[in-house]
Amino acid sequence: MNEKNRVVIPIGPQHPSLKEPASFLITLEGEKVVNAVVGVGYNHRGLEKACESRTYIQDLYIIERVCGICSHTHSTAFCQGIEELAGLKIPKRAAYIRVIVAELERLHSHLLWLGVAGHEIGFDTLFMYSWRDRERVLDMLAAMCGNRVNYGINTIGGVRRDFDAAMLRDVLKMADVLQEQLKYYLDLASTEATLIARLSGVGKLSKEDVLRFGSVGPVARAADVGDDTRVKEPYAAYGEIPVKVITDTHADVFGRTLVRIKEMIESLEIIRFCVKNLPDGDIAVKAPRKIPAGEMISRTEAPRGEDIHFIRSDGSDIPERIRVRAPTEVNWHGMRYMLEGQYLADVPITIAAIDPCYSCTDRAIVIRSDDQTDVTDWQGLRQYSIDWYQKRGVNVPSVKMPESKKYF
Amino acid sequence: MLSALFKILIFPGFLFLSVYGLCLESLDRKIYARLQNRIGPPWYQPLADVLKLLGKGTIIPADANPGMFNFLPIVSLAAVASAFIYVPVWGNTASHSFDGDLVIVLYLLTIPTIAAFLAGWYSRSVYATLGSIRTLTQMFAYEVPMFMALLSPALIAGTWSVTGMAAFYSKHPLYILFNIPALFVALVSAQGKLERAPFDAPEAETEIVSGAFVEYSGKLLAIFKMSMDCELVLIASLISAIFLPFTTGIAVVDLLLYFVKTIVVLLFLSLMRSAMARLRMDQLLNFFWKQLSLIAIAQIILNLIIRSRLAL
């Protein structure tokens, strides 16, 4: 095959397999991927900057909205950092409640992933089934926290809502129902021939490569790298709860599927333990409005991997700097490596297998040199993007833009 | 003359084919939804879809060849409608038949696929081109086992006419038992022919958006959709005429039996669609060439032996 037989397929920024905008330029030779260019950064929202002009309590609401799926883990990391800076010790009951919500969140995130993965490989029945079961978890979260995704349960110094006995009974009931379903999915994933054919050997990332690219979460655990913040650096009540780190040796999408399903079963165990051993007492301590000056890095285990928050306080009630490193940010590095040499059909599932969270990850980075700053206007930016694509062989049709419209 | 026109245009011709196609699609979507624990769309959804598409504007890409772009959906629908004339609907007799019409039906069945390929090719879109290449590759995969599976019952029947085969097997219903492997091969290849999961790689939504038809919209897309629905009816009728030729001789009962038979075929196809993940092109080719074709060849050899033993 020579250069002429190659064809460039743009997957994204708008594509049915992507749930958020990102661009993957896939160069194909026949059905084989010979080159992949990963382009992220379409969804910059300026959350970190917004946090720097609001108080800590107001920031809590922004941080909760970093991610639509793993909102709790972000707010936990943020609250933990501030509590550490302020020298607060949250009540035990609050720590347990944080764990219960975190594990419910992991359940619904992994069930969502299972559905998306099923859809990417054209197995819509799995998609419908797992999203039906995800509804049970979401209903539970809505009953306990008042919201389906942005639970708003965390506050600086503890949690905002207490769970009563009836709620906890319902959680256990839901856990039993879900346990059966998860066993069925595990059975399905390890026996259904077409599923195994589509998943095994796809998106290989060996242990060495995981360590080289610094991948986290199920991607790393599927390659037998037993990194789990819940065990390595226990936070909230994880120090008192037995957590089994799920690892797998397949190092491919199949392994990641097994890891996620087994992690869900493990999550149910954690929830059962928490409900049984939920201590009595207060659910929050009073937090000061002004946080003492200092810097803090706080880590939590999001469903997608390790989530790191950096907080710098200057002693006022407004943070000086906040940095959110969502787990997807490090998982992107291995993506090109995973995509190349595969079939086109495997591209969507390989992208989906890291459970990417595009908007949580996208940041604007300004590279300054010699104090020079470039200012580009709208037309210039548009021309730049057209040239960028044309250089890579994608013909952007000459779309006429209204000249007079003011965008800003 | 008038009765021939009635047969071709209204019943059991084009009008019946279109209406029944929409009914089967509706049923298919309902079964598929129920298997996925969903409610599914209301029964008139396929009709509503077609009517809405007919009322929409059609966009023809600037790079596309407008002549071919407009022409191909009609070719596709016409080929399916023509093939349906030779397939028995109620009882054992088709509207028209002659010895060898099975070959004509199989030939006309490939035209919608070729039309889809050309439609994708003339769209000049990268997704459509890739989808059309996949469509053509898949055609080479399923055609061999499908043709062998549909022709092997003809060996026992000793005729190349669908009507003749249906008549023969309804006279000797027990001989159908010999053709069970061929029935299985035919059903699985039919799924490949109709490009439904697990063989829907040519229109894989998550990879190449919707394959060959990605640039189609409005009326032209509606015609393509209709031709796909009609293809489903045609294949279900063909399989039930060849492999399930149970008739009573009473016209109304036979018509009801025809509905039952086609719905049973559809049920199998829907079940397969909901129970499996989409196969990759290479896996699909391996499956059709290395497994299904072997079963089909074995069936042909078996039928030749049976034919010489029974001295038919």
DSSP string, B7-55: HHHTSSSHHHHHHHHHHHHHHHHHHHHHHTT-----TTHHHHHHHHHHT
Radius of gyration of chain B (CA): 19
CB pairs under 8 A between A and B: 85
Cα dihedral sign for A115, A117, A122, A126? negative
- Rounded to 5 degrees, φ, ψ at A36 are -135, 130
Give the pLDDT score at A402.
55
Which residue is associated with the tokens 């896996």?
A: B283
Kindly list the residues from chain B whose CB atom is less than 8 angstroms away from the CB atom of residue A343.
280-282
pLDDT bracket for residue B264 (50, 70, 90): very high
> What number is the average pLDDT over the span B251-261?
85
Q: Chain A: residue nearest B202 by CA?
A: A345
From the list B36, B206, B277, the residue facing A348 with the nearest CB is B206
Any chain A CB within 8 A of the CB of B280? yes
From the list A122, A194, A197, the residue facing B204 with the nearest CB is A122
pLDDT bracket for residue B309 (50, 70, 90): confident
Q: Chain A: residue nearest B205 by CA?
A: A16
How many angstroms away from the CA of A124 is the closest CA of chain B? 7
With CB atoms and an 8 Å threshold, state whether B206 touches A119.
Answer: yes
How many angstroms away from the CA of A349 is the closest CA of chain B? 9
pLDDT tens digit string along B205-229?
777 878 888 888 888 999 989 999 9
Give the pLDDT score at A366.
62
pLDDT at B167 over 80: yes
Give the pLDDT score at A2.
59
Q: Chain A: residue nearest B204 by CA?
A: A122
Rounded to two decimals, the ipTM of the complex is: 0.85
With CB atoms and an 8 Å threshold, state whether A119 touches B209.
Answer: no
> What number is the average pLDDT over the span B241-250?
80
With CB atoms and an 8 Å threshold, state whether A123 touches B278.
Answer: yes
Q: Chain A: residue nearest B210 by CA?
A: A16
Kindly list the residues from chain A whose CB atom is less than 8 angstroms away from the CB atom of residue B38.
128
Give the pLDDT score at A11.
85
| Total-model pTM | 0.86
Please state, in angstroms and rounded to a whole number, the distance separating the CA atoms of residues B154 and B148: 10
With CB atoms and an 8 Å threshold, state whether B274 touches A397.
Answer: no
Q: How far is CA A169 from CA A165, A359, B123, in A?
A: 6, 36, 59
With CB atoms and an 8 Å threshold, state whether A9 touches B130.
Answer: yes
Give the pLDDT score at B253.
84
Please state, in angstroms and rounded to a whole number, the distance separating the CA atoms of residues B164 and B237: 15
Q: Which DSSP letter does residue A5 get?
A: G
Please state, in angstroms and rounded to a whole number, the distance separating the CA atoms of residues A340 and A405: 42
With CB atoms and an 8 Å threshold, state whether B129 touches A7.
Answer: yes
Say which residues have a Cβ less than 8 Å from residue A185's Cβ, sequence separation at least 6: A114, A126, A129, A130, A261
With CB atoms and an 8 Å threshold, state whether B277 touches A348.
Answer: no
Q: Where are the alpha helices (DSSP H) in A18-164?
A: 47-51, 56-64, 71-86, 92-120, 124-145
CA dihedral of B291, B295, B297, B299, whole degrees rounded to 10 = -170
Give the pLDDT score at B6.
77
Q: Chain B: residue nearest A130 by CA?
A: B36
Give the pLDDT score at B203.
82
Contact criterion met (CB below 8 Å) for A319 and A312: yes
Any chain A CB within 8 A of the CB of B272? no
pLDDT tens digit string along B103-117?
888 899 899 999 989
Any chain A CB within 8 A of the CB of B130? yes
- Residues paired with residue A298 on neighbouring β-strands, in sequence order: A309
With CB atoms and an 8 Å threshold, state whether B129 touches A10.
Answer: no
- Most A-contacting residue of B38, B191, B206, B210 (CB-CB within 10 A), to test interface: B206
Contact criterion met (CB below 8 Å) for A261 and A182: yes
Q: Which DSSP letter does residue A162 get?
A: -
Kindly list the residues from chain A whose CB atom is less than 8 angstroms away from the CB atom of residue B135.
none
Give the pLDDT score at A408.
44
How many angstroms away from the CA of A397 is the closest CA of chain B? 10
How many CB atoms are closer than 10 A to CB A265?
Answer: 17
How many angstroms away from the CA of A283 is the closest CA of chain B? 40
How many angstroms away from the CA of B117 is the closest CA of chain A? 16
pLDDT bracket for residue B88 (50, 70, 90): confident
pLDDT at B20 over 50: yes
Taking an 8 Å Cβ-Cβ cutoff, which residues of chain A contact chain B? 7-10, 15-17, 28, 31, 118-126, 128-129, 132, 192, 194-195, 197-198, 343-348, 397
Kindly list the residues from chain A whose CB atom is less than 8 angstroms away from the CB atom of residue B36.
124-125, 128-129
Give the pLDDT score at A365.
65
For chain A, list residues with pLDDT below 70. Answer: 1-3, 364-375, 396-408
The token pair that represents A339 in the structure block: 């995509």
Q: Chain B: residue nearest A7 by CA?
A: B126
